[in-house]
Amino acid sequence: MQHQFVNYITETRHSLLTGRYAAGDAPVLSRLKSYADRLLARPANFLAGRGITPNVLTLCGLAIGIFAGIVLALGFFFAGGVLILLTGLVDMLDGAVARNGRATTTFGATFDSISDRYVDCIVLLGLGVAGVNWLYVGAALMGSLLVSYVRAKAEGLGIPCTVGIAERSERLLILAIGLLVGFVEPAVLLVAILAQFTALWRIGLLLQRAAS
């Protein structure tokens, strides 16, 4: 089932905006980027043509993510899975709109990144409140935050560090599918394992490159 989880997902907004990786440093699913670009180009152009800005979409994605966390905390797992898919789609669309509409800004990228972290935390905390094993939730949350933090730290130092198999899109899709098919705890555990693996991979690579 893990292979099915990762067959249909795309990279994070940052990857869609830049389209560049250091040699040998691309996320595992970066080969799907061109397909995602083509898939999202038409709806992105439609939204941009009607004055919908990337920041508006980011705000919508944040609102949907917060609602998803509340729904999950109340125990409505299937509905929560649908909402997670929706917030992930909106997150991809805001990057496509920013790119196609040439509307990329430092404010927008920062707002998007912060919103993503809030959604990640709220969704996982909602699952914990609903009764999912807190050890799994905590490991998934820690791994998810570390994946993003290590990349941001590396970029701040001018060091490319985008390797891994559990970027945000992958994690959201794993959770969503688990919620939709009734394998909630296994999905959270899988996210925890893959996120921790990716975080450790990036930490090792960053330390290696920082020391060279």
The one catalytic residue in 91, 94, 112, 116 is 116
On whether the CB atoms of residues 48 and 104 are closer than 8 A, the answer is no
Residue the block writes with tokens 């979409």: 57
Distance CA 61, CA 94 (A): 9
Q: Does residue 106 sit in helix, strand or coil?
A: helix
Q: Based on the residue annotation, tell me whether 116 is a catalytic residue of this protein.
A: yes
DSSP states of 21-88: --TT---TTGGGHHHHHHHHHHHHHHHHHTT--HHHHHHHHHHHHHHHHHHHHTT-HHHHHHHHHHHH
On whether the CB atoms of residues 203 and 179 are closer than 8 A, the answer is no
Distance CA 137, CA 127 (A): 7
Number of helices (H), then strands (E), in the chain: 9, 0
Active site residues: 116
